[in-house]
Amino acid sequence: MKQLTLLFLILILNCNTPKKEDSAKKEESNSDSTNQNLNTTKKAEIEEFISLKEGFLTQSVFQVVVFSLSDSLQDAKREALDIAKRKSINLLISNTRQPLSSQGRNEIKSIVEESGKITKESSRFEGKYYFIYKIEKPGLEILIKDKLN
| pLDDT reported for residue 99 | 85
Per-residue pLDDT band at 91 (split at 50, 70, 90): very high
| pLDDT reported for residue 13 | 60
Q: How many Å apart are CA 131 and CA 137, to the nearest integer?
A: 20
- Per-residue pLDDT tens for 92-121? 999 888 888 899 999 999 999 999 999 999
Evaluate if residue 46 carries a pLDDT over 80: no
